[in-house]
């Protein structure tokens, strides 16, 4: 799963993936692949995975409520405002998708049961609460709507 920025070429901000040996890897926007992360994907085991993006430049990966890695995007051009264009799950269809050397897909499969998207960074405590399924995440802005109600006379 990963995050891309808008614009020509759709710069990859970060991607969290696993290989056939069930080892997690974090790839940052500079294409640098992290070392294998301490957390291992288990067979027939549910993992709670979070990709957290702050200010469009810093990313963190959490597995089962624990931060396993983080990275920083190289400084973007000041003249261009970059926003996240899309998130992807299951590969981005690009050259970084895992193949067996002959161009065939590795056949690593996962089942995704829930996807939650928030418009603000979550705190470590909120991520831990999500893992325990006890989260009460409040919006970061006031959603009160003021106005005048008009009633129809029928």
Whether 142 has a pLDDT exceeding 70, the answer reads no
Q: 79: pLDDT confidence band, cut at 50, 70 and 90?
A: very low
Whether 28 has a pLDDT exceeding 70, the answer reads yes
The closest alpha carbon to 125, from 52, 33, 38, belongs to 52
Tally the residues of the chain. Answer: 154
Q: How is the chain split among helix, strand and coil, in percent rounded to 5?
A: 5, 30, 65
Mean pLDDT of 103-120: 68
Mean pLDDT of 47-56: 79
Please name each of the domains of the chain with its CATH number: 2-131 (2.60.120.200)
Name, in order, each residue with C-beta under 8 angstroms of 153's C-beta and a sequence gap of 6 or more. Answer: none
Note whether 61 and 68 are within 8 A (CB): yes
């Amino acid at each position: 799963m990963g995050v891309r920025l808008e614009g020509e070429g759709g710069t990859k901000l970060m991607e969290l993936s696993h290989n056939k040996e069930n080892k997690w890897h974090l790839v940052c926007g500079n294409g640098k692949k992290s070392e294998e992360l301490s957390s291992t994907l288990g067979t027939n085991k549910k993992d709670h995975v979070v990709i957290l993006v702050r200010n469009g430049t810093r990313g963190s990966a959490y597995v089962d409520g624990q931060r396993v890695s983080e990275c920083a995007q190289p400084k973007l051009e000041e003249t261009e405002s970059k926003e996240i264009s899309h998130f992807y799950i299951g590969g981005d269809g690009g050259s970084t998708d895992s193949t067996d050397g002959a161009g065939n897909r590795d056949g690593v499969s996962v089942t995704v049961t829930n996807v939650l998207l928030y418009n603000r960074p979550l705190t470590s405590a909120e991520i831990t609460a999500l893992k325990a399924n006890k989260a009460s995440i409040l919006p970061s802005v006031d959603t009160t709507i003021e106005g005048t109600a008009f009633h129809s006379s029928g």
